[in-house]
Chain A
Amino acid sequence: MFGYVRPYAPELRVRELEVFRALYCGICHALGRLGGITARCVLSYDFVFLAALLWQPGEAVRVEKRRCPVSLKKKRCCVNVNAATETAAGYGLILAYHKLRDDVADEGALRATAARVAMLALTPAYNRAARRFPMFDAEAREKLSRLSQAEADQASQSASLDAVADKFALLLAAAGGQGETETAPERESAAGHDAGVLRARGNLLYHIGRWLYLIDARDDLPEDFKKHRPNILNGRETYDDARLQLTATHSNNLAISAFELLPENEWSDILRNILCLGLPAVQERVFAGEWKRRRGYYGI
């Protein structure tokens, strides 16, 4: 589910690649503040995309050197922790925790045990994130439980794929809302948020969520089919790769259209790369069956 939303590195400028990595490290620090070393383990490029999208137009990017728990000898460049990075870290942590909770319920014995252990380790960090972002936590619980229900109903293969993907897409769209802020001045400025911007951002995230859900299902399909695990695409004769590619590309394109309506911020060029180049590159590899064993992929 995580890691599909990333830039196409060969088309990034060197400075863009470096500042993207710095944002990744900045979100790692935000996760560390939220929940220590265990929270940092859930970090993925999708959080970076969200932080870049939520970044306030006009707010400058400050980069500072910080010590890294992975490479202790060398300090790394990190983007400053601010509302956007904190929100992305919090939302990402909440989503990762609920995903683990679903794995405990849905997966086989071995995977469920691993998920249970990970959940236990993550619980204190999750509790802190849920207290900080209660509205998103409530949305995540409700939408993911509706998603599980919809996936179970899919067993009859008669309901629509859109109906299931919609649940996850709506959850991601909620991440583009006004955000939850602690201090009164922040709340006041959040209340002045342009309704048009919120609408465009919500729609962008809806279609990213829909794209993500379809791509994840397609990526897991060969293994799920072999191991008789549930997958919404399993056994659907009405869906072939061509149809699935078309609808995934359409969601990608609608996300691009929504993005072009948003005001520019410091990350717009990188976001444009992610939407216009990164997602299609990942989609191509997923449909070729090469994503999981990507060698020679120009990663970050």
Chain B
Amino acid sequence: MKQINEAYDAITKGTASSYGSSSSSGGARSSYTGGGFSGEFAAVRTAIANGDLEYARQLLNEAESRGAEWHFLVGSLYYRMGWLDEAMRNYQTAASMEPGNPEYREAVMHMSGAGAPYRAPGFGGTGGMRPGRDCDACDICTALVCADLCCRCG
């Protein structure tokens, strides 16, 4: 059960917590320290990450500054609620207010790709309905064989 909840949070969040808290993103985002949230809307990010959506909504409603980050977090809140169209609008607003921000850009790209579904291996990235399929072990092996034939070194 714990594993389902963790996997579920990781797959379906796509929100402030996964875009903002990643310690692997290095120092690119000055608002965030490794592992924790900081900045004006830290409490909102924590609330969204913990699934406390009502509290996050209340904080956002009470916020005085409604800049790019506010729109991004409203988008994240809507995403968690399943209001995908509203989430997209707010992410786009945030990205247009702060075009250089990679977090907002990633969010817009994620929504523009209709989310990438977690799918069990074997069912195909395109669902088998359209031409083109996932790369599998055979493709890699074939590619290596071809590369070996083309590049006769030594």
Binding site for B on A (CB under 8 A): 8, 11, 160-163, 166, 169, 194-197, 199-200, 203, 206-207, 210, 243, 246-247, 249-254, 256-258, 260-261, 272, 276-277, 280-281
Contacts and interface: CB of A to CB of B under 8 A. Distances in A.
A163 B4 contact: no
Contacts of A253: 114-117
Given A161-B85, A257-B11, A276-B123, 11 more contacts: A8-B129, A160-B86, A169-B82, A194-B4, A196-B8, A199-B5, A246-B114, A249-B114, A251-B84, A254-B12, A257-B118
Contacts of B83: 160, 162-163, 166
Contacts of A197: 1, 4
Given A258-B12, A281-B129, A200 B4 contact: yes
B152 interface: no
Interface in B1-46: 1-5, 7-8, 11-12
Interface of B: 1-5, 7-8, 11-12, 78, 81-86, 88, 111-112, 114-120, 123-124, 127-129
Contacts of A281: 129
B7 to A, nearest CB: 6
Contacts of A249: 114
B82 A256 contact: no
B11 A207 contact: no
Contacts of B128: 11, 276-277
A257 B117 contact: yes
Contacts of A272: 120, 123
A281 B2 CA distance: 34
A90 to B, nearest CB: 25
B8 A256 contact: no
A251 B81 CA distance: 12
6 contacts: A196-B8, A243-B85, A254-B115, A260-B119, A261-B11, A272-B120
A254 B117 contact: yes
A280 B2 CA distance: 31
Contacts of B78: 162
Contacts of B115: 250, 253-254, 257
B86 A196 contact: no
B44 to A, nearest CB: 20
Contacts of B85: 160-162, 243, 247
Nearest to A163: B83
A206 B8 CA distance: 15
Given A199-B8, A249-B114, A162 B120 contact: no
A125 B116 CA distance: 42
B71 to A, nearest CB: 15
* Residue of B8, B88, B111, B116 with most chain A CB atoms under a 10 A cut-off: B8
A263 B118 CA distance: 15
A257 B12 contact: yes
B116 to A, nearest CB: 7
A162 B84 CA distance: 7
Contacts of A210: 82, 84
B117 A277 contact: no
B83 to A, nearest CB: 4
Contacts of A254: 12, 82, 84, 115, 117
B123 A196 contact: no
A213 to B, nearest CB: 12
Contacts of B84: 162, 210, 247, 250-251, 254
A163 B78 CA distance: 10
Given A253-B117, A276-B123, A280-B127, A246 B4 contact: no
B8 A200 contact: yes
Contact of A196 (B5, B88, B127): B5
A56 B92 CA distance: 42
